[in-house]
Amino acid sequence: MLEDVVKKKIDETRQGEAFSSTIYHTDKSIKKFYIESYGCAMNFSDSEIVASILHQNGFGPTKNLEEASLILINTCSIREKAEQTVRKRLTDFKKLKQQNKSILIGVLGCMAERLKTKFLEEEKLVDLVIGPDAYRSLPQLIAEAGDGQKGVNVLLSREETYADIAPVRLDSNGISAFISIMRGCNNMCSFCVVPFTRGRERSRDAQSIVQEAQNLFDQGYREVTLLGQNVDSYKAPPPPKGGSWETTSSLLKENTIKKSELQSPSFGGVGEAEVVTFAQLLELVAQVNPLLRVRFSTSHPKDITDEVLYTIAEYDNICNYIHLPVQSGNTRILELMNRTYTREWYVERINRIREIIPDCGISSDVIAGFCSETEAEHQDTLSIMEYCQYNMSYMYYYSERPGTLAERKYADDVPEETKKRRLHEIVELQNKLSLQSNQNDIGKVFKVLIEGDSKRSSNDWKGRSSQNKLIVFPKNNMPLLKGGYVLVKINDCTQTTLLGEIIDQSSSYSHL
């Protein structure tokens, strides 16, 4: 029962998805690769970079395991359960390998980085082990593995951003795409393996990001999500001077970066030069076209600035939605987690968001049962969730990860049943908040970007509001296309979906 509640709530719909595209399906002469992705959006985005590297080296994607000569699994290490899922999947691949020895099997991503050569020893069938910063070496390692040598490259880099690689969009709806703006993380939250598996933080240059957004827009995409583990600490050298690169916001012009900020520990330092901040990057991407919606993830409560909030408020096409993981509502636990903010700080940030962007959708990540968490401290998490009125949360119980600060310093001493019970209470509360938030939207009108047919019926469209809420509404034989915008009035809702009707299609713009 509990498992059901948890599964339903955590958005697992894309986990293990096999990506493909139609580009090469008919060409039998081309070698095929099959790739499954697990974990966060960053991994799904990385799989598109891997696809691009393979494409340039004569491989085409397939969704059909049986026709693949290369099987890749892009892995996640964030919780033990994520790693168990991958190991189980590898045993399925084993059967294929037993039937056809020439198939190559590769493990990519965070688990590859964490386990390194251990993978070759433990999972005997694996031919390739490649960490998140080593995807450029894939073609060479594939060639070596084809000659019988096992290929391992788990070197982390301080520079790699794959900025020059145009991702091959896999199984996209043709409307929404991810753009990776930075890699790694310098934060060292005590529960988290990411700094160990993805290395030091580095920002991709702004010019290549804006160019990627422009190319996507030209191809018909109408929404981009800028991805990073901590987007607010994005800092990159400025693009070349010139009219189109100048930011226009008066607020941003008044806020050039000061020398003292350049020396902050999370920044590698570019001397006295100006840098592009996340707020400025948001503005540059928003200026690509007013019809291109801009989203981003993930924001860190210690780093999100008023500058970012004002930029969101200033541009209609920057969505009014912020994912601001709280993790815990108790200051002592936040300190043990090394989150570097207090409950009061977090609440102040939420108040500021509500002040500057009154209709902003806010979501969160929450961890139940961190080391030494008491019942009263758990209640603090519930009360901060009530205060923040999250639209949605990703909720987990604490899973100790090898090598993390918490594993080395603290006892994982909250019993599993207690962790699960607390998580259950968190999930139940979030369900209530989500339903309330949706009920509050009944009678309101939202501008919706049409993403395609609804899951349940081809007579209905599905799309999202700026606040990232899923909205379903009847097509009513109107001549609309996905990628267009319509005004939808909300008449009803469930906990996860708003249900409405089109009241104005004059705001609809076809992308074709």
Count Cα neighbours of 455 within 13 Å in the Cβ-side half-sphere: 4
Residues that bind ligand SAM (CB under 6 A): 40, 78-79, 191-192, 194, 229-230, 298, 300, 325, 327, 365, 367, 396, 398-399, 401
* For ligand SAM, the closer CB: 187 or 277: 187
Q: Is 185 in the site for ligand SF4 (CB under 6 A)?
A: yes
Q: What is the largest CA-CA distance in the chain?
A: 65
Distance CA 332, CA 131 (A): 35
Binder among 189, 322, 450, 499 for ligand SF4 (CB under 6 A): 189
Distance CA 226, CA 236 (A): 14
Residue 163 exposed, middle or buried by CB count within 10 Å (0-12, 13-18, 19+): middle
The CB-of-489 to ligand SAM minimum distance in angstroms stands at 34
Of residues 392 through 451, those in contact with ligand SF4 by CB under 6 A are none
E strands present in 369-454: 392-397, 445-453
**Partner whose binding site includes residue 195, from ligand SAM, ligand SF4, none (CB under 5 to 8 Å by kind):** ligand SF4
Binder among 300, 378, 464, 482 for ligand SF4 (CB under 6 A): 300
* For ligand SF4, the closer CB: 81 or 444: 81
* For ligand SAM, the closer CB: 39 or 239: 39
* For ligand SAM, the closer CB: 61 or 109: 109
Binder among 106, 195, 301, 361 for ligand SF4 (CB under 6 A): 195
From residue 306, alpha-carbon distances to 265, 311, 312 in Å are 21, 8, 10
* For ligand SAM, the closer CB: 359 or 417: 417
* For ligand SF4, the closer CB: 183 or 295: 183
Segment interacting with ligand SF4, rule: CB under 6 A, options 67-75, 191-199, 217-225, 240-248: 191-199
* For ligand SAM, the closer CB: 194 or 353: 194
**Partner whose binding site includes residue 277, from ligand SAM, ligand SF4, none (CB under 5 to 8 Å by kind):** none
Beta bridge pairs of residue 397: 368
* For ligand SAM, the closer CB: 304 or 367: 367
**Partner whose binding site includes residue 50, from ligand SAM, ligand SF4, none (CB under 5 to 8 Å by kind):** none
Q: Is 324 in the site for ligand SF4 (CB under 6 A)?
A: no
The CB-of-110 to ligand SAM minimum distance in angstroms stands at 9
**Partner whose binding site includes residue 266, from ligand SAM, ligand SF4, none (CB under 5 to 8 Å by kind):** none
The CB-of-329 to ligand SAM minimum distance in angstroms stands at 13
Of residues 223 through 242, those in contact with ligand SF4 by CB under 6 A are 229-230
Distance CA 203, CA 199 (A): 12
The CB-of-194 to ligand SF4 minimum distance in angstroms stands at 4
Binder among 47, 74, 187, 330 for ligand SF4 (CB under 6 A): 187
Tokens of 500: 């409405």
Tokens of 193: 């393996």
> Site size for ligand SF4, by CB under 6 A?
10
Strands 293-297 and 176-180: unpaired
Beta bridge pairs of residue 248: none
Q: Is 277 in the site for ligand SF4 (CB under 6 A)?
A: no
> In what helix (H) or strand (E) does residue 392 lie, and over which residues does it extend?
strand 392-397
Binder among 49, 192, 326, 333 for ligand SF4 (CB under 6 A): 192
Beta bridge pairs of residue 337: none
The CB-of-114 to ligand SF4 minimum distance in angstroms stands at 14
Q: What share of the chain is helix, strand, coil (3-state, %, to 5)?
A: 35, 20, 45
Q: What is residue 86's three-state secondary structure?
A: helix
Count Cα neighbours of 435 within 13 Å in the Cβ-side half-sphere: 9
Q: Is the peptide bond before 298 cis (omega within 30 degrees of 0)?
A: yes
The CB-of-140 to ligand SF4 minimum distance in angstroms stands at 30
Distance CA 315, CA 307 (A): 13
**Partner whose binding site includes residue 97, from ligand SF4, ligand SAM, none (CB under 5 to 8 Å by kind):** none
Q: What is residue 194's three-state secondary structure?
A: helix
Distance CA 305, CA 318 (A): 16
Place of tokens 């019988």: 148
Specify whether the CB–CB gap between 194 and 78 falls below 8 A: yes
Handedness of CA 373, 335, 298, 114 (dihedral sign): negative
Distance CA 177, CA 381 (A): 33
Distance CA 509, CA 512 (A): 9
The CB-of-103 to ligand SAM minimum distance in angstroms stands at 30
Distance CA 270, CA 61 (A): 40
Q: Is 182 in the site for ligand SF4 (CB under 6 A)?
A: no
The CB-of-396 to ligand SAM minimum distance in angstroms stands at 4
Binder among 194, 224, 292, 429 for ligand SF4 (CB under 6 A): 194
* For ligand SF4, the closer CB: 195 or 199: 195
**Partner whose binding site includes residue 47, from ligand SF4, ligand SAM, none (CB under 5 to 8 Å by kind):** none
- Residues near ligand SF4 (CB under 6 A) are 185, 187-189, 192, 194-195, 229-230, 300
